[in-house]
Amino acid sequence: MVTGKEDLLRSLIEAFLMEKGTHEFYEMAATKAVSEDARNTFRELTGWEEKHMEYIQFLYLSIQDDRDLERFEAFKNKADAPVVEGGIPVADLEAKVEESVFLDDMGALILALEIEGKAYNLYRNLSQKAADQNARVVFKEMMDMELSHIDYLKKLRNNLAETS
C-alpha cells in the first residue's frame, strides 16, 4: 500500500496496482449486478479505471525512457492487485456484492461512491505528503480524476432518486 514515502516510480507502481484492483473489481461487479443500469454503471467505471491504468503506464514508461511495452504488459498481467483505490481489500468488496445488497442501481452507485471517495481521500493525502515532488503532482492529478468520478456518480444517484 502506498504511503507517500515512496519515490515517484514506486508511487506509480503502487497507484497502478490499486487502479488494477479497482478495475478487476468493477469488472466482476458488472457480471453480478441484477439490473442493466447497475451493470452499465460498473462497466463505465471499469472503463475509467482502464484509462487510469493507461495514464499511469504512460507516465511510468516515459519516466523510465522505456518504450518496451512487452515488459510492462507482462508485469500488468502477472501483478496481483489485492486492494482497490483507497486501500479497500478487493475481497471485502466482493463479499458485499455476494450479499446481493449492492446489486441494484442505487446500491451500485453507493458502493462506487464509497470506493471513489476513499480513492479521492487517499490521493489527496498522498498529494499533500509525498516526499517526491513529482509524485505529489501525479497524486494531485489522480485526485482530480477521482473528484470528477464522484461528481458524475452523485449526479447519477440524484437522477435515480428523482425517478424512483
Task: Give 63's pLDDT tier (boundaries 50, 70, 90).
Answer: confident
The domains of the chain, with CATH numbers, are: 8-163 (1.20.1260.10)
Give CA–CA dist 55/23, Å, rounded.
14
Rounded Cα–Cα distance for residues 4 and 129 (Å): 6
| pLDDT tens for each residue of 114-146 | 989 999 998 898 888 888 888 888 889 999 999
pLDDT (0 to 100) of residue 86: 77
The confidence score (pLDDT) of residue 143 equals: 93
- What's the CA gap between 88 and 12, in Å, rounded? 18
